[in-house]
Structure 1
Amino acid sequence: MTYSSDIEGIDALSASYNEIRKEIGNVIIGQEDVVKSVLISIFSNGHCLLVGVPGLAKTLLVNTLARVLDLSYNRVQFTPDLMPSDILGSEILGEERVFKFLKGPVFSNIILADEINRTPPKTQAALLEAMQEKIVTVGGTTYPLPRPFFVLATQNPIEQEGTYPLPEAQLDRFMFNVLLSYPSFEEELRVVKNTTANKQVELRKILNAEEIEYFQRLIRNVPVTDHVLEYAVSLAARTRPGTTLATEEVNKYLSWGAGPRASQYLVLGAKCHAAISGKYSPDIEDVQAVAEPILRHRIVRNYKAEAEGISVEQMIKRLL
């Protein structure tokens, strides 16, 4: 799939994005910002972490997305006894007395890692390595993962007893950390009306794997002006306490700031946000639009911030 120019490609991406959102809206009521963030992650070739209480349609969203994008999909329920081989696959001894590799659920285009903080660090690390390298190595043999490859992990913010929270270094592998909120009264009314009746929705396939890979390459080609680049990098740098760009509030309330990966994702996210909006180059508003979910899990508050009730979101808003 190719277009005569990048401009034509961006127009096609913007049109496809609007079609995808409309199609998903036939099943998912509300959660427009969440859908937008997930689609930006996919087109930017990143991964997404969703944080929300049970019953907010996280699984339904991923399932719907896979159908609309015509991609293979697997859901893995993370539990304390889950082993790395349960995700990656394992070697088994076949009838011919020869070892053969049995692929695990990770060999799909979209993986839903449900409640990723309920499994031990060894199993978390196995998935995170696959996310970063896009390969799986078992028994000395390397197996490439299908492209595009996208992990959407969920975390439950309540019932933290018996969980294994992802360390900051591993959270950094996720492009976005998206918080899901409860639906409004009107949205919940529509949800209940639709889900308690015999209503079947036929979803159209809008894109396929080849087209998504094309759009992922296209996003990399979107030009960025120097002042937008400098704004994105300085925004990430200003979150780092003890450095020259750090503000007085950052030095007072933060113990750690965002690393260079945040700068990369701010630029990529801004490119994609501009493209899906029909713009051919991002501006500072596009960087600001994606800043909160990119910085949220890369900033660590100190005890003073916790004692005074200063949230990460408040800190990001002040920096913006």
Structure 2
Amino acid sequence: MADEWKASAAADSDEKSWKLLEKTLLAGVQEQRRARRWGIFFKLLTFIYLFGALALFAPMLDLQETAGKGGGHTALIEVRGMIADKESASADNVVGSLRAAFADSNTKGVILRINSPGGSPVQSGYIYDEIRRLRAEYPAIKLYAVISDLGASGAYYIASAADEIYADKASLVGSIGVTAAGFGFVGVMEKLGVDRRVYTAGEHKAFLDPFQPPKEEETLFWKQVLETTHKQFIASVKQGRGERLKSDQYPELFSGLVWSGEQALKLGLIDALGNSSYVAREVIGVKEVVDFTVQETPLDRFAKAFGSSVAERLALWMGFQGPVLR
């Protein structure tokens, strides 16, 4: 019995020792896991901090680099993509760049390099007006619009305010017209058996609703709005181009058609063929180019990549879209 009791006590002792060892090992593993989690957390925090610092100071570095250049230079401003609010070619961005370029004492000439299908008539009008104001304020500094691949509708609206317009022989130029597009879902809703219920105060408040059939008088009204915008567009182009525009010989200039650069030269839409390097070197006479384009920060690009304006885009796709210069 004594031997059995001793053996039982030894077994209990071994079991307790193994349990203690197991707890110790588990505690060590859990501690390592916690340490890894905290390590990942602090690494992520460091990354976010560095990313934020880069987003904050990158524009300042660009400005310092630009300001640090001495001597005369040609100022370059890019107008790329849709001309719209919150886009890189928004009026705020382009106008800010224009003001900085003209105010720089070393600027000998300004090139507005355009590659855009157009966009908002309001944003284009802001830029157009500012170009004309700056040209009057700084008469010694000429502004040249240079169209690369595309300078259509609102983009050409802007270009027409320049002293001269250049383009490549294969560039697409013109498209002086206005459009407002959307979709109608009335037939789809009828097939699905869905009723549209809209409550408004104002007889025509819902006239752009894509889920209701259009009314003749509202369609006529909307066409009048577009025609008014088109007339404003035409008047601005005529004011900017003056007698160089051969609209009397070619009335289809304002029909919304688009032409190659070679054709545009004959129509008076542009002044000569050439790219931005040619204009800086041969026209302005200063081949050193300084870019005054507002640069998007990494944070801006990150926000756009994740679609910061999904609701706004959805509204456009569903049919609620204002006039667009095209």
The TM-score range, normalised by the shorter chain, is: under 0.3
TM-score between both structures, scaled by the size of structure 2: 0.25
Larger Rg: 2
| TM-score of the superposed pair, with normalisation by structure 1 | 0.26
Whichever structure has more helix as a proportion of its residues is 2
